[in-house]
Amino acid sequence: MFNKKTALAASMALACAMSGAAASALDLSGETVEFVIPFSETGGSAKWANFYAPLLSEALPGKPTVVVKYMPGAGSTKGANWFQDQSYEDTEGKVIFGSSGSTQFPYLLEDPRVKYEYADWNVVLASGTGGVAFLPPDLAGKMDGLDATGLQGTDFIWGSQGATRLDLVPLLAWQMLGMSVEPVFGIKGRGDGRLMFERGEANIDYQTSAAYLDNVVPLVEAGQAVPMMTWGALDENGNIVRDPTFPDIPSFKEVCEATPACETSGDAWEAWKAFFIAGFPAQKMIFLPKGAPQDAIDTYTKAFNDVIARPDFKELSEATLGDYPQMTGAPAKVMLDLGTKVPASAKAFVKTWLHDAYGVSLN
């Protein structure tokens, strides 16, 4: 069995070599590509994966059926550990994996459950998103322009999914501004957090971009909420700039600069920035398993490029993905590096902070 396989691989390699550097060596006619996500059918990742699956199906050579396969468990580490065990040789380009900020955070925080290594995988797409924090109108009035000092005396309460999740980015940001925000842990999704805000149980909240556009903008129009800041976006050079989806809302960086208590340098800022990048601009990525040859990576990259280049892509994606860059090739690689390589000092800072402020330890 093994010999047959090696022989096959060898002959395929030979065939590739002979046909030159053609990117079409991978033909998936009649095959089924499994797009595995380490989450259940219900979350944002499922929405994202189901958005891409049919488009990818049309763009890949041979138009294979692309099915989304859910592999939830252990805060997404189960599916990622499974993917770590897959190799390109065995899966022959028919398995791709979609990871999310929830997969990256345990990896960055050295959760004991993590047995996967991002460096082994081959990124073919990186999708970013953003987030917007908002306040009730009476509290928003306490801000002096961009200066958030006026909010320091107020007790804030906030529905949160847990301090080790994506929610650590806003928590840290608010703390850096000198605000005292008490997180109510254990809510099931960001939608529940918004409902708490609408009921008046919570008096601060944030939503990712798509959810903000759908559900918070009507609140803002009705005078029940006022945007406070976005987390920002990254430009080509890795600098934090205003979020292009919300050009009128200041970024956290601007608010931080205008607030005396907050500094855009030092350990806290570096840690915030690292985890912000992992959680938002580099939130969702698609990988081929370890050992994927360059031509397979090229085939998938081209397919995603074709998807993104569709004339109707912008219109289709707006609702699901928001107005954010969908990156392939070298920019996707840069995102992978930014999102999964965090300085040891930033990790140490966050771990100490989580332990001291919330009693959370990951061992």
Partner 1 sequence: MDLFATALPALQEAFALILQPQQIMYLMLGVLLGLSVGVFPGLGGIAGLSLVLPFMFGMDPVSGLALMVGLVAVVPTSDTFASVLMGIPGSSASQATVLDGFPMARKGEAARALSAAFASSLFGGLFGAAVLTCFILIARPLVLAFGTPEMLAITLLGLSMVAILAGRLPLKGVAAACLGLLVGTIGEAGAGGSLRMATYDIPYLIDGVKLVVVGLGIFAVPEIISLLRQDQSIARGSKLGAGWTQGVRDWFENIWLSVRCATIGVIVGVIPGLGGSVVDWIAYGHTIQTAKDKSKFGSGDVRGVVGPESSNNAKEGGGLVPTLIFGIPGSGSMAIFIGGLGLLGFNAGPQLIQNDLNVTYTVVWSLALANVFGAGLCIALSNPIARITTIRFTLLAPFLFMMIAFAAFQSRQSLGDLISLFAIGLVGIFLRRFDWSRPAFLIGFVLSNQAENFSNNAHQIASFQFRRGLEQGLNYVASPIVLGILALTVVSVVLGIRQSKMIRSEGEVVHGHKRAPLIFLLAILAYMVTAWVNAALIDLTSDKIFPLTVGTVGIVATLLLLIRMIRAPEDDPVFADREAGGEDAAAPHGLWSTLAWFGALLVLSSLLGFILALLVFLIGFFRIRGQLSWARTLLFTAAGIGGMCFLAGTLNRDFPPGLLQEFVKLPWPLK
Which range binds partner 1 by CB under 8 A, 47-55, 226-234, 323-331, 339-347? 47-55
Identity of the residue, 162 or 178, whose beta carbon is nearer to partner 1 in the bound complex? 162
Of residues 16, 31, 61, 69, which one binds partner 1 by CB under 8 A? 69
Count CB neighbours of 223 within 10 A: 9
Is 54 among the residues that bind partner 1 (CB under 8 A)?
yes
Q: Which residues of 72-107 are buried (b: 16+ CB within 10 A; e: fewer)?
A: bbebbbebbbbbbebebeebebebbbbbbbbbbbbb
Distance of CA 153 to the CA centre of its chain: 33
Count CB neighbours of 23 within 10 A: 16
Is 358 among the residues that bind partner 1 (CB under 8 A)?
yes
Is 70 among the residues that bind partner 1 (CB under 8 A)?
yes
Q: x/- site string to partner 1, residues 82 to 101, per CB under 8 A? A: --------x-----------
Is 223 among the residues that bind partner 1 (CB under 8 A)?
no
Which range binds partner 1 by CB under 8 A, 9-17, 38-46, 139-147, 166-174? 38-46
Which range binds partner 1 by CB under 8 A, 23-31, 52-60, 232-240, 260-268? 52-60
Identity of the residue, 109 or 256, whose beta carbon is nearer to partner 1 in the bound complex? 109
Residue ranges of the alpha helices (H) in the chain? Answer: 2-18, 44-59, 77-84, 88-91, 101-108, 137-140, 168-176, 190-199, 209-211, 217-221, 252-258, 266-279, 294-309, 313-321, 329-340, 344-358
Is 180 among the residues that bind partner 1 (CB under 8 A)?
no
Three-state DSSP class for residue 155: strand
Residue 26: closest CA among 83, 69, 88: 88
DSSP string, 118-130: GGGSEEEEEE---
Is 155 among the residues that bind partner 1 (CB under 8 A)?
yes
Q: How many residues of this chain interact with partner 1, rule: CB under 8 A?
A: 55
Can you give the C-alpha Rg of the chain in angstroms?
22
CB within 8 Å of 256: residues ≥ 6 apart: 173, 176, 177, 262, 263, 264, 269
Of residues 186, 238, 266, 331, which one binds partner 1 by CB under 8 A? 186
Identity of the residue, 185 or 313, whose beta carbon is nearer to partner 1 in the bound complex? 185
Identify residues 332-351 at the interface with partner 1 (CB under 8 A): none
Of residues 16, 31, 47, 149, which one binds partner 1 by CB under 8 A? 47
Q: Are 226 and 219 in contact (CB under 8 A)?
A: no
Partnered with residue 290 across adjacent β-strands are 87
Q: x/- site string to partner 1, residues 264 to 303, per CB under 8 A? A: ----------------------------------------
Is 220 among the residues that bind partner 1 (CB under 8 A)?
no
Is 110 among the residues that bind partner 1 (CB under 8 A)?
no
What is the binding site for partner 1 (CB under 8 A)?
1, 40-43, 46-47, 50-51, 53-55, 67-75, 77-78, 90, 112-113, 155, 157, 159, 162, 164, 182, 184-188, 191-192, 195-196, 198-202, 211, 214-215, 218, 319-320, 358-360
